[in-house]
């Protein structure tokens, strides 16, 4: 007995389920249907006598008769559904498929009972009648008829027989709601390798395995479906690139490092690193050997396109790939590897037709100076006779001369005479400005955040950030959880030095990773001698000048954090759990927190060492989802000078007497502007990040705000407590 509604088969009320002997017994089942038969009760007349051989025979007879009835009913519904639906008074939306899908769901709720000897309570008899290995009624049905739902969408939503099932989804593919399977099921390669009618959901596959039905059922991951699209040669054609790019764009949240699928996604990306794409020379090349000549916001930066202009054709991605495919390309390639040494090699090999592009990069490229250092002045002397040199403006020639003058005498420019600095005034209505910035960020946040992270962090960072004691804190891996945390503190410690352009720290971070500084610092408590050895190696490896010596001035802060990392994180965790903003003020001075007395949490204060950088650290922890407590919002706007100035120009925010107070003043003003308008004063927990982009890019300001005005944009060694510049790296 099942409940019948206008939609089809449904669940009985709990008190009606289980075994009946004309009247209900005390035997209840997790399956929400009932069986009535002349079973033999025990002495108490309320339970089934499981040891009575007669009861097994009765159950076998029920299973046999029910199995025959199910097969007969299946044919009736398959060939005469309309009549059956009318007689059963079913809704017009009901169908042959929905009826049998409902029956499956009601009979396959829990793992199947396959042996009478394994029954421990009478309620399990229902599952045994349905799924017994010899005479189970449902077993007989699904072995002979396509009565198993795939539980998959679209062309894969077929009813199947047990023997036809060869594959079941697993991992993130099995989470249908994330949209990944909806994308890949459209690919011809997917339908060919994992055909509809032979592929089911993970839950269906697991039940069939438990029921020992059908043959071997293989679990299929997204990685396997992607591999089938690329092929055994790992060569991604334009069509494959477009499909994979659409997968990454349509299911973007799945591929974020903070997603619940991070481990599986990382493994997939590692596989994609082995893929090849077409170059402009018509041959396939590894993705990490290619550059792209087409700028695409949030995907391909202008600097990369400048490099590609003079790269060999075999080092440039074919222009036949679509914009959508570029999303796949950058995922497969990872960080751009065309460094100054590679660029210099390309420049030496460049034809005369590409020489103008070489000059353009030397003048305006991010690695222009380093590339000039690699090429050397003799290279420039030879190129003076070319047409490309003759076509340069006087200003561009002077810039090239300057960059190739390392080690030569070069007159110091006369500093301009400066008068009083221009007054910083409000340029537009605060409400209008806040609305425009908010709407722009809501629409384009993803691309700008990806740009920020790509220019800021080395590969593998910041990754997941477990609190001490959480899963993953002690896991072995590279980079370790401690190293991922430490990089955030190091970036924060560099903020007061005054180099506050986005991307300013990535070179230094990569230096720390490549020279194993992070590993040394994170293990300093257990192996302090290694730190001294690393310092000696650092000093001994240079002849004329040390590298990154300016950033290394904050070494005391790096050491203080590394040695007391767990204490600082516990202090931050305490702030996250608090109901007061005051705890956030003391987050980087654990000794000032009375709650920590006697707990062993006793780290030196970082407040003075981090300065403005403490706000950046708060911002990143909110942005990365490690903090969510609204009491700390007021401390998460990094109030570097360009942000303070822009907030004055847009919102009329006055500068505060201290960095922390400036952050609070900015938040309070934005909170006031957003109140009642449904606008988020934190810009979706990105805080000052959109303001930094607007301050640095005049064209972006004009596009977003529809007005033109000058803003503070450049690094300045006189700002934000930085000492005078001395050849900063």
* Chain segment 253-281, per-residue pLDDT in tens: 888 877 888 889 888 888 888 899 999 99
Measured CA angle at 44 (ends 41, 50), to 5 deg: 35
* Chain segment 601-621, per-residue pLDDT in tens: 778 888 888 888 999 999 999
Q: Is residue 518 in a domain?
A: yes
β-pairing verdict for 284-286 and 276-278 = antiparallel
* Chain segment 297-341, per-residue pLDDT in tens: 889 999 999 999 999 999 999 999 999 999 999 999 988 888 999
Res 410 pLDDT > 50: no
Model pLDDT, residue 538: 77
CB 170 within 8 A of CB 201: no
Q: Is residue 476 in a domain?
A: yes
Average pLDDT over residues 618-632: 94
Model pLDDT, residue 668: 93
Residue 711 — very low, low, confident or very high, per pLDDT cuts 50/70/90? confident
What number of other Cβ atoms are within 10 A of residue 373's Cβ?
16
Distance from C-alpha of 334 to C-alpha of 345, rounded to nearest angstrom: 22
Res 724 pLDDT > 60: no
* Chain segment 658-707, per-residue pLDDT in tens: 767 889 999 999 999 998 788 999 999 999 999 999 998 888 999 999 99
CB 375 within 8 A of CB 316: no
Minimum mean pLDDT range among 342-351, 406-415, 502-511, 529-538: 406-415
CA distances from 6 to 63, 86, 98, 485, 654 (A): 27, 10, 12, 57, 67
Model pLDDT, residue 553: 84
Res 598 pLDDT > 90: no
Model pLDDT, residue 177: 92
Query: Can you say whether the dihedral through the CA atoms of 713, 715, 718, 722 is positive or negative?
Result: positive
DSSP letter (8 states) at residue 294: S
Model pLDDT, residue 109: 85
Residues forming beta bridges with residue 9, ordered by sequence position: 4
pLDDT over 70, % of the chain: 93
Res 636 pLDDT > 60: yes
Q: Which of 116, 149, 182 is the last residue of a domain?
A: 149
Q: Which of 119, 149, 179 is the last residue of a domain?
A: 149
Q: Is residue 480 in a domain?
A: yes
Residue 729 — very low, low, confident or very high, per pLDDT cuts 50/70/90? very low
Q: Is 468 exposed, middle or buried (0-12, 13-18, 19+ CB in 10 A)?
A: middle
Instruction: Collapse the DSSP code of 551 into the 3-class scheme (helix H, G, I; strand E, B; otherwise coil) and give the result.
Output: helix
Q: Per-residue DSSP letters for 65-82? A: HHHHHHHHHHHHHHH-HH
Res 29 pLDDT > 90: no
Instruction: Collapse the DSSP code of 439 into the 3-class scheme (helix H, G, I; strand E, B; otherwise coil) and give the result.
Output: helix
Q: Give the number of domains in the chain.
A: 2
Q: Is residue 48 in a domain?
A: yes
Of the two residues 594 and 627, the one the predictor is more confident about is 627
Residue 631 — very low, low, confident or very high, per pLDDT cuts 50/70/90? very high
Domain span holding position 103? 1-149
- 555-563 vs 565-577: helix axis angle to the nearest 10? 70
Model pLDDT, residue 422: 63
Model pLDDT, residue 185: 95
Q: Is residue 567 in a domain?
A: yes
Instruction: Collapse the DSSP code of 265 into the 3-class scheme (helix H, G, I; strand E, B; otherwise coil) and give the result.
Output: helix
Distance from C-alpha of 167 to C-alpha of 193, rounded to nearest angstrom: 10
Q: Is residue 519 in a domain?
A: yes
Res 421 pLDDT > 70: no
Average pLDDT over residues 437-443: 95
Model pLDDT, residue 474: 87
Average pLDDT over residues 544-551: 67
Minimum mean pLDDT range among 168-172, 367-371, 589-593: 589-593
Res 217 pLDDT > 50: yes
Res 416 pLDDT > 80: no
The 10 Å CB-count burial string (b at 16+, else e) for 488-509 is: bbbbbbbbbbbbbeeebbbbbb
Q: Is residue 347 in a domain?
A: no
Residue 580 — very low, low, confident or very high, per pLDDT cuts 50/70/90? confident
Q: Is residue 101 in a domain?
A: yes
pTM value is 0.55
Model pLDDT, residue 599: 66
| Token duo for residue 332 | 């497969």
Q: Which of 117, 149, 181 is the last residue of a domain?
A: 149
The 10 Å CB-count burial string (b at 16+, else e) for 397-418 is: eebbeebbeeeeeeeeeeeeee
Model pLDDT, residue 547: 67
Model pLDDT, residue 335: 85
Model pLDDT, residue 455: 87
Of the two residues 10 and 497, the one the predictor is more confident about is 10
Res 35 pLDDT > 50: yes
CB 495 within 8 A of CB 613: yes
Model pLDDT, residue 19: 92
**Residue-averaged pLDDT of the chain:** 88
Model pLDDT, residue 536: 82
Model pLDDT, residue 719: 37
């Amino acid at each position: 007995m099942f409940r019948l509604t206008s939609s089809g088969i449904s669940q009985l009320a709990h008190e009606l389920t289980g075994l009946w002997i004309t009247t209900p017994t005390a035997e209840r089942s997790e399956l929400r249907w009932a069986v009535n038969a002349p079973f033999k009760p025990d002495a108490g007349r309320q339970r089934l006598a499981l040891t009575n051989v007669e009861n097994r025979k009765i159950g076998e007879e029920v299973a046999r008769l029910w199995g025959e009835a199910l097969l007969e009913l299946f044919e009736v519904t398959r060939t005469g559904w309309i009549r059956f639906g009318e007689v059963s008074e079913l809704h017009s939306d009901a169908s042959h498929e929905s009826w049998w899908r409902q029956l499956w769901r009601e009979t396959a709720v829990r793992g199947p009972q396959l042996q009478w000897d394994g029954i421990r309570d009478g309620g399990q008899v229902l599952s045994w009648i349905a799924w017994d290995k010899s005479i189970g009624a449902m077993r007989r049905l699904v072995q002979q008829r396509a009565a198993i739902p795939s539980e998959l969408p679209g062309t894969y939503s077929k009813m199947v027989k047990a023997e036809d099932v060869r594959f079941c989804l697993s991992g993130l593919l099995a989470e249908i709601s994330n949209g990944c399977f909806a994308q890949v099921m459209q690919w011809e390669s997917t339908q060919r390798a994992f055909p509809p009618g032979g592929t089911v959901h993970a839950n269906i596959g697991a039940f069939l395995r438990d029921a020992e039905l059908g043959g071997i059922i293989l679990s299929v991951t997204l990685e396997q479906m992607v591999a089938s699209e690329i092929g055994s040669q790992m060569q991604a054609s334009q069509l494959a690139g477009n499909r994979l790019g659409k997968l990454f764009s349509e299911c973007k949240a799945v591929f974020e490092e903070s997603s619940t699928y991070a481990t599986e996604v990382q493994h997939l990306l590692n596989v994609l690193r082995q893929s090849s794409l077409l170059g402009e020379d018509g041959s396939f090349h590894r993705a990490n050997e290619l550059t792209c000549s087409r700028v695409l916001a949030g995907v391909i930066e202008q600097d990369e396109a400048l490099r590609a202009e003079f790269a060999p054709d075999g080092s440039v991605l074919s222009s036949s790939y679509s914009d959508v495919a570029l999303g796949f390309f950058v995922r497969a390639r990872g960080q751009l590897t065309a460094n100054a040494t590679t660029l210099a090699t390309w420049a030496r090999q460049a034809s005369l037709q590409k020489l103008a592009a070489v000059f353009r990069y030397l003048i305006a490229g991010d690695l222009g100076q380093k590339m000039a250092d690699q090429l050397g002045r003799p290279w420039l002397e030879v190129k003076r006779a070319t047409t490309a040199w003759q076509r340069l403006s006087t200003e561009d020639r002077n810039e090239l001369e300057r960059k190739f003058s390392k080690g030569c005498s070069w007159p110091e420019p006369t500093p301009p005479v400066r008068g009083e600095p221009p007054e910083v005034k409000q340029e537009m209505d605060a409400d209008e400005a806040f609305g425009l910035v908010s709407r722009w960020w809501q629409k384009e946040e993803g691309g700008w955040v990806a740009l920020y992270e790509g220019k800021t962090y080395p590969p593998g960072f910041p990754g997941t950030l477990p609190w001490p004691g959480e899963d993953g804190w002690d896991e072995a891996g590279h980079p370790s959880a401690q190293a991922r945390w430490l990089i955030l503190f190091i970036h924060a410690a560099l903020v007061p030095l005054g180099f506050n352009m986005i991307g300013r720290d990535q070179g230094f971070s990569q230096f720390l990773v490549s020279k194993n500084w992070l590993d040394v610092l994170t293990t300093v408590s257990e192996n302090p001698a290694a730190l001294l050895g690393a310092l000696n190696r650092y000093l001994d490896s240079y002849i004329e000048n040390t590298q990154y010596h300016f950033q290394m001035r904050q070494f005391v802060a790096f050491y203080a954090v590394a040695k007391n990392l767990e204490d600082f994180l516990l202090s931050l965790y305490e702030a996250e759990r608090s109901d007061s903003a005051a705890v956030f003020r003391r987050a980087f001075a654990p000794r000032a927190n009375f709650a920590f007395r006697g707990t062993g949490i006793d780290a030196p204060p970082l407040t003075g060492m981090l300065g403005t950088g403490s706000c950046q650290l708060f911002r990143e922890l909110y942005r990365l989802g490690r903090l969510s407590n609204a009491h700390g919002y007021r401390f998460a706007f990094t109030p570097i000078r360009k942000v303070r100035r822009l907030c004055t120009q847009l919102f009329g925010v006055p500068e505060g007497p201290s960095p922390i107070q400036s952050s609070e003043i900015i938040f309070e003003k934005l909170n006031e502007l957003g109140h009642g308008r449904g606008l988020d004063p934190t810009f979706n927990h990105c805080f000052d990040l959109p303001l930094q982009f607007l301050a640095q890019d005049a064209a972006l300001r004009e596009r977003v705000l529809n007005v033109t005005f000058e803003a503070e944009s450049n690094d300045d060694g006189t700002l934000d407590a930085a000492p005078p510049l001395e050849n900063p790296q």
